């Protein structure tokens, strides 16, 4: 596979998978010291958000025999969806924040609900199988959306141009990506990143535009 995309900006020999998320988000960004709503960015921070997104998957499969390469398949799929984000970290000062983050783009909500429904049906079947599915549900349920979403988690930072709202800001980060490739019909994992910019129009609230990417390069 040899896809290239404006989200990754890199071309690999081997298999690569990329996803682009364009997200308009409204996120309460709480700078927390003793009071979780004290309005300060410095100190403990917590944020969450949601917005529409566009996921684009490039998948290209190449067969290598020695130095010869044969193109086996080449595909691209774009789907609209919903992006969810949370972040947890600390503000170094009133302009700079560091945090752990998780971003999930759900591009096939009907399939996600069907997958959850099928799992709950197994829990209600009775017998030892039902007991097993019930016991492992806290571990399994968070991962069911993987077949209908793209997820990037890792570390990030945000820099605000001013110490108080209203102000513009930029953010970015990197980590791991887990994504479903509907072309190959499999869940893949690899590197991930995000870049974004936005505007904090009032204390605790802002809108932004993000691009999130994930790629995979398995051994040749």
Helix ranges restricted to H, 20-93: none
Angstrom distance (rounded) from CA 208 to CA 170: 9
Structural contact between residues 63 and 69, judged by C-beta atoms closer than 8 angstroms = yes
Residue-wise pLDDT for 73-131, tens only, equals 667 788 888 888 888 888 889 999 999 998 888 888 888 888 888 888 888 888 888 88
Of the pLDDT bands very low, low, confident and very high (cuts 50, 70, 90), residue 6 is very low
Residue-wise pLDDT for 48-74, tens only, equals 888 888 888 777 766 667 777 776 666
HSE value, Cβ hemisphere, 13 Å, CA-based, for 99: 29
Give me the percent of the chain exceeding a pLDDT of 90.
15
Give the predicted TM-score (pTM) of the model.
0.69
Mean pLDDT on 27-42: 53
Mean pLDDT on 155-179: 92
Angstrom distance (rounded) from CA 29 to CA 203: 8
Query: pLDDT value at position 175?
Result: 93
Q: Does position 161 have pLDDT exceeding 90, yes or no?
A: yes
Mean pLDDT on 5-15: 29
């Amino acid at each position: 596979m040899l896809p290239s995309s404006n989200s990754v900006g890199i071309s690999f020999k081997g298999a690569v998978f990329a996803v682009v998320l364009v997200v308009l988000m409204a996120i309460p960004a709480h700078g927390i010291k003793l009071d979780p709503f004290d309005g300060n960015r410095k100190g403990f921070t917590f944020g969450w958000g949601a917005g529409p997104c566009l996921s684009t998957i490039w998948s290209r499969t190449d067969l290598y025999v020695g130095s010869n390469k044969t193109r086996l398949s080449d595909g691209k799929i774009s789907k609209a969806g919903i992006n969810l984000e949370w972040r947890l970290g600390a503000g170094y000062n009133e302009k700079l924040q560091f945090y752990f983050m998780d971003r999930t783009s759900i591009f096939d909500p009907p399939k996600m609900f069907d997958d959850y429904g099928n799992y709950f049906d197994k829990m209600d079947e009775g017998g030892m199988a039902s007991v097993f599915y019930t016991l492992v549900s806290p571990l399994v349920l968070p991962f069911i959306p993987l077949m209908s979403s793209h997820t990037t988690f890792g570390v990030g930072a945000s820099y605000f141009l001013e110490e108080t709202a209203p102000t513009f800001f930029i953010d970015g980060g990197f980590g791991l990506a887990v994504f479903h490739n509907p072309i190959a019909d499999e869940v893949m994992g690899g590197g991930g990143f995000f870049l974004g910019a936005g505007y904090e129009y009032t204390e605790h609230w802002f809108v932004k535009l993000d691009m999130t990417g994930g790629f995979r390069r398995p051994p040749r």
